[in-house]
Amino acid sequence: MREIYFDNSSTTRPSEAVLETVIRTMTEDYGNPSSLHSKGVDAERCLREARKKIAATLKAGEKEIIFTSGGTESNNMAILGAALAGRRRGRRILCTSMEHPAVSEVCKFLQKEGFETEQIPVDSRGRLDLAALEEMLSGDVIAVSTMYVNNEIGAVVPVQEAAELIHAKAPGAIYHVDAIQAYGKYRIYPKQLGIDLLSASGHKLHGPKGSGFLYVSKDVRIVPILYGGGQQDGMRSGTENVPGACGLGVAAEEAYRNFDEKISHLYRLKEALEEGLARLEDVVLHSPSGREGAPHIVNASFLGVGSEVLLHALEDRGIFISAGSACSTHKRSASPTLTAIAAPKDEVTSSVRFSFCESNTLDEVTTTLAALEELLPALRRYGPLRRS
């Protein structure tokens, strides 16, 4: 059975070039970048190359890239670091109501520590309420964090407009963008957009797991959260994960090679799936259609079919997707995004996410649609008795 992997927003398969780099940095350039001998110098050079590659994709300076262990650490470092740096100036921190837990949980922690965290509302399609943001902004806001692309439904936040508002109405506030689902899918130039901090993760773009970075504009100061040997200019102590960072460097470079072509391809896949789903009955789309949303994410509810049931039924046919929400009979936290966009309960319990990468094909979309068409009637027949 051929494998169709449509869960690229969860993680991606590392590319050949990434693999080669990781292996090389583990077998040949295995030195500690801080060591004084040539092994160390070689490792440091590799790290520097990776940093350069990433900086180039962002039109940023090398020194503005800090390697981390991934998206969660980048988000933690950004928000905790900004909160600590700004705590004498104010206590208010804003984020959207549809953040990933790696942001929302940090805010929850800060709330307990005496900060005031507030949520900027989004509408039923995940569009940020800019007017509400404007209203919430004032001089005592020390940090604002928004996603770039929502991980569940692919809604896109207008970061440039948000940045303009933030810098105008809350001068001194640090603007952090969680770009974990966006980096590699959009050309993001933080300086032009007015972004101060930007988080990205390696394994979402065919890089290694355990790799990521935080872009920190040279114009802002955040307080480090890890202390030790003072690596990376004291911003992130700990021996650098050279294989991870170098793999990420290669992945970043690859992501922006033939960029427009790849993005068009992703949109073709997305549109094909959307068209196919539109022909099926009782399907509700949560992802913004076509170019209104991210190129790689389609989120749909197949009413009357539990997310997990559909997931396993497709898995049986070698098609891997993600469940928008967990099973219905046991308590598991509901999807934060679908809750934020106020989706009805039957849509929440039946929502699944398809997410593409550039090596997926139209053929795979067609096969998936055919499988859905065949499976849904049977699965629905046994659906209505499910406890809700």
Number of neighbouring beta carbons within 10 Å of residue 153: 28
CB closer to another protein, 122 vs 313: 313
CB closer to another protein, 303 vs 310: 310
Task: Specify whether the backbone of 227 is left (phi greater than 0), alpha (psi in -120 to 50) or beta.
Answer: beta
Cα separation, 150 vs 316, in Å, equals 28
Cα separation, 300 vs 163, in Å, equals 30
Binding of residue 30 to another protein (CB under 8 A):
no
CB closer to another protein, 227 vs 382: 382
Applying CB under 8 A, which part among 18-26, 256-264, 306-314, 357-365 lies near another protein? 306-314
Number of residues binding to another protein, judged by CB under 8 A: 19
Pair of tokens at residue 321: 């997707």
Angle between helices 16-27 and 242-255 (to 10 degrees): 160
Pair of tokens at residue 123: 């509408």
Q: What angle do CA 43, 48, 54 make, to 5 degrees?
A: 130
CA atoms within 13 A of residue 139's CA, in its CB half-sphere: 2
Give least dist CB 382 to another protein, A: 6
**Residue from the set 309, 348, 352, 372 that interacts with another protein by CB under 8 A:** 309
Give least dist CB 11 to another protein, A: 18
Specify whether the CB–CB gap between 150 and 126 falls below 8 A: yes
Give least dist CB 372 to another protein, A: 13
Give the containing element (helix H, strand E) for 284.
Answer: strand 283-285
Give the containing element (helix H, strand E) for 272.
Answer: helix 259-279
CB closer to another protein, 225 vs 327: 327
Number of neighbouring beta carbons within 10 Å of residue 261: 10
Binding mask 311-350 for another protein (x = CB under 8 A): xxx-xx---------xx-xxxx------------------
User: Which residue of the set 46, 246, 327, 357 is catalytic?
Assistant: 327
Among residues 55, 62, 32, 43, the alpha carbon closest in space to that of 253 is found at 55
Where in 345-384 is the site for another protein (CB under 8 A)?
379, 382
CB closer to another protein, 99 vs 308: 308
CB closer to another protein, 167 vs 386: 386
Give least dist CB 339 to another protein, A: 18
Any catalytic annotation for residue 327?
yes
Applying CB under 8 A, which part among 138-146, 273-281, 303-311, 366-374 lies near another protein? 303-311
> SS3 of 65, please?
strand
The residues of the shown chain that bind another protein, judged by CB under 8 A, are 308-313, 315-316, 326-327, 329-332, 379, 382, 385-387
The residues annotated as belonging to the active site are: 327
